[in-house]
């Protein structure tokens, strides 16, 4: 995979870092919210279950045999109980799957960001090294020229080296 | 509307009273449970709303422009917000309609029970009164016979009344 030419340069590098950090923050927020929602769901499910327990206290009374209202009430309590169970199951599933996936996504993204930074640093170091070479090139060239001049004016076996540093 | 012959007699009367009381207790329990469920729903809706507020804290970051994950997250928060609103609306509706209806049903049933008891007492009083008359009938008959015997044996203008009480 190539790297877009639009993403080269210092500004682009910083924008990429910001983006990656923002994505990590987003993942952290998402995780926090999901964990909170799971907590809400579980509390709601528990509260509904206790409503059902409260509503069933009447059930044992034998004076209500054959009452349609009692039957309807029993059905309603069953529905509430099922809803509570579903909410609890869903919370468990979100916890064991979604939150876990978010965690590994976060770890992966963090690792990717580290890799990107290391790679960037490596390339930047290479780049500055080659820049250094480039900067020394004219000086080396002039030294070479000096040597050539010296060699043409010096006697055999006698080359005085006069290189001015600076 | 007639009154079933199966429901006449002291045992049936007591069974009917028990039934009516049990129905009133059922209505009270139903009302208590509904009120509790409304409370649970409202707390859950509030908790979900605060999850949404927490989840939106990231939204303002401009570093995430064009991010599909952010878009999906926004949509998810909207869904949670809508769910919370629906739960709240439903709780309000259950409170203003169902609980109110249960209240008036309870009042109606209580009134009906009072009416039934009053009617029963009235009929029972009538019944015991006619029973009393029935019990006195033989005695009255014997008094009448005594008067007839006396009138046949007494002189003109002289009737000695000898009625033995007991």
Query: How far is residue B36's CA from residue B43's CA, in Å, rounded to a whole number?
Result: 11
A150: exposed, middle or buried (C-beta count within 10 Å: 0-12, 13-18, 19+)?
Answer: middle
Quick one: pLDDT at residue A7?
A: 73
B144 interface with A at CB cutoff 8 Å: no
Query: How far is residue B62's CA from residue B42's CA, in Å, rounded to a whole number?
Result: 34
Q: Which of A24, A30, A75 to mutate: most B Cβ within 10 Å?
A: A30
The domain that holds A114 is classified in CATH as 1.20.1270.60
ipTM of the complex: 0.71
B54 with A73: Cβ contact below 8 A: no
Quick one: pLDDT at residue A161?
A: 54
Query: How far is residue B71's CA from residue B58's CA, in Å, rounded to a whole number?
Result: 12
Chain B residue numbers with beta carbons less than 8 Å from the beta carbon of A73 are 26, 30
Report pLDDT digits (tens) over B35-59.
Answer: 999 999 999 999 999 999 999 887 5
Quick one: pLDDT at residue A61?
A: 64
B29 close to A55: Cβ distance less than 8 angstroms: yes
Residue ranges, chain A, pLDDT below 50: 166
A33 close to B76: Cβ distance less than 8 angstroms: no
Q: For chain B, how many structural domains are there in total?
A: 1
**Residue B106: C-alpha distances to residues A55, B35, B111, B116 (Å):** 17, 15, 9, 15
Quick one: pLDDT at residue B89?
A: 97
Quick one: pLDDT at residue A139?
A: 83
Is the confidence at residue B108, as pLDDT, over 90? yes
- Give A96 to chain B, closest Cα distance, Å: 19
Quick one: pLDDT at residue A115?
A: 93
A130 interface with B at CB cutoff 8 Å: no
Give the count of beta carbons closer than 10 Å to the beta carbon of residue A85: 13
Residue A158 is assigned to a structural domain of this protein = no
B36 with A43: Cβ contact below 8 A: no
A23 with B64: Cβ contact below 8 A: yes
A73 interface with B at CB cutoff 8 Å: yes
Token pair of B75, please? 């949509």
DSSP string, A21-69: HHHHHHHHHHHHHHHHHHHHHHHHHHHHHHHHHHHGGGTT-GGGTT-HH
Nearest by CB to A26, which of B19, B51, B70? B70
Stronger pLDDT, B165 or B113, i.e. the higher one: B113
**Residue A37: C-alpha distances to residues A17, A87, B45, B84 (Å):** 30, 11, 11, 12
Residue A162 is assigned to a structural domain of this protein = no
Report pLDDT digits (tens) over B58-88.
Answer: 756 677 888 888 889 999 999 999 999 999 9
Q: In this predicted structure, which of A57-66, B61-70, B97-106, B139-148 has the lowest mean pLDDT?
A: A57-66
Query: How far is residue B22's CA from residue B34's CA, in Å, rounded to a whole number?
Result: 18
pLDDT mean over B91-96: 95
pLDDT mean over B13-23: 87
Chain B residue numbers with beta carbons less than 8 Å from the beta carbon of A80 are 37
Residue A152 is assigned to a structural domain of this protein = no
Nearest by CB to B26, which of A15, A44, A69? A69
**Mean pLDDT score of chain B:** 85
Quick one: pLDDT at residue A84?
A: 96
B64 interface with A at CB cutoff 8 Å: yes
A88 interface with B at CB cutoff 8 Å: no
Domain containing residue B111 = 5-139
B75 interface with A at CB cutoff 8 Å: no
pLDDT mean over B2-12: 75
């Amino acid at each position: 995979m190539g790297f877009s030419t639009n993403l080269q340069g210092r500004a682009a590098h910083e924008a990429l870092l910001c983006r990656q950090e923002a994505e990590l923050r987003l993942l952290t927020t998402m995780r926090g919210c999901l964990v909170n929602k799971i907590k809400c769901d579980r509390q709601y499910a528990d509260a509904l279950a206790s409503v059902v327990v409260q509503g069933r206290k009447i059930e044992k009374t034998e004076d209500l045999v054959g009452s349609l209202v009692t039957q309807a009430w029993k059905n309603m309590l069953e529905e509430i109980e099922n809803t509570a169970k579903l909410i609890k199951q869903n919370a468990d599933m979100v916890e064991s799957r979604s939150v876990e996936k978010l965690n590994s996504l976060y770890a992966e993204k963090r690792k990717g960001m580290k890799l990107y930074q290391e790679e960037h640093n490596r390339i930047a170091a290479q780049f500055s090294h080659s820049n250094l070479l480039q900067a020394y090139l004219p000086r080396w060239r002039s030294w070479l020229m000096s040597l050539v001049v010296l060699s043409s004016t010096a006697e055999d076996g006698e080359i005085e080296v006069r290189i001015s540093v600076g």
